[in-house]
Amino acid sequence: MAEIEKIHDNEEEHYKESLEDLRAPLGLVNSMADLYLTFYRMAGGAPFKLRIEAMARIYMAQACMHRLSMGTLAVQRAHHYDSFRNTREAIEAAAYAVHIKNHPHLTRLWRKGSKDDVSYAQYRKAFSPGVLFPKGVPTFGELKKRYDLCAKLSHPSFLASAPSFKVTRNEDGRGVVYPYFHGGPENAFARAETLLWMVDTHVLILKVLELALPEIVVHGGLVWPIHRNAMEASLDVHKAQFKRAVEQEKTKKASSA
């Protein structure tokens, strides 16, 4: 238990440091979470028919916000690569929501997928990545690229392992160390960049959720696009500020070299 407590204490230390080091991108993440909440509040008065497929679509949309929160906490606690797993699941949940909207009868396969191995195989075939990301739709194309990148970075490939793969020497010879933490305070720029990329991805996800839940968009009238456009404008400002900060850091290092 001492080992688990030690990891927990280190996580809390990284989390507290992130509140200062990542103040600006964390503010943007909170704005993104507020945008999700606005979307869900509008669902309360939207003209949904109380069908399981509608509830499944709303559930998938809620899963997207959940993954935004968990991915952010992963970055804050210096579990950098875990954040990509959460983003991948958010992209997949949004794609599920659209797929269910376009094919309501598949909700039954989704529900029955846990019944037995045969049912699970039928469900997996109906919701495979090949059918979740239709070609010819720009937003889906970009999300598929990001989905694939997240998969590469969340699987035990060397692409994900290389930054932390360390061979050590001790009295017993060579050894390999797998660190619990990636992307601590010394990697503030990388963590900030990941959070900006995550928010940018969730803006795309919300555009997909608009297709999955048109009842909410129609019910929201002009309120929804106003909120979403404001979020996109804020994201653009943060991206520009981050780019300037990176350039200034490069100039600073070059002048001190």
Tens of pLDDT, residue by residue over 20-75, are 989 999 999 999 999 999 998 887 777 777 578 888 999 999 999 999 999 999 99
Is pTM beyond 0.85? Reply is yes
Average model confidence (pLDDT) for the chain? 87
Give strand pairing partners of 182: 79
From residue 62, alpha-carbon distances to 42, 100, 244 in Å are: 13, 15, 34
Domain ranges across the chain: 27-165+182-256
Give the list of residues 6+ apart from residue 221 with CB closer than 8 angstroms, or none.
none
Q: What digits encode the pLDDT tens for the residues 136-149? A: 777 889 999 999 99
What's the pLDDT tens digit per position in 195-209?
999 999 999 999 999
CA atoms of 74 and 65, how far apart (whole Å): 14
**What are 90's two structure tokens?**
């958010």
The answer to whether the CB of 95 falls within 8 A of the CB of 143 is yes
What pLDDT is stored for residue 130 in this prediction?
Answer: 84
Tell me what pLDDT residue 158 has. 62
pLDDT tens by residue, 153-180: 887 766 656 566 666 776 666 666 777 7
Residue 1 pLDDT greater than 70, yes or no: no
Which of these, 27, 56, 75, lies nearest to 123 by C-alpha position? 56
> Residue 144 to residues 58, 137, 158, 159, 210: CA-CA distances in angstroms?
21, 11, 21, 18, 17
Q: What is the pLDDT of residue 203?
A: 96
Share in percent of the chain as helix, strand, coil (round to 5): 80, 5, 15
- What number of CA atoms fall less than 13 Å from residue 234's CA on the CB side? 18
The conformation of residue 170, written as its DSSP 8-state character, comes to: E
* CB atoms inside a 10 Å sphere around CB 35: 22
Cα separations (Å) of 25 from 8, 62, 67, 195, 254? 24, 22, 17, 6, 26
Size of the chain, expressed as the number of residues it contains: 257
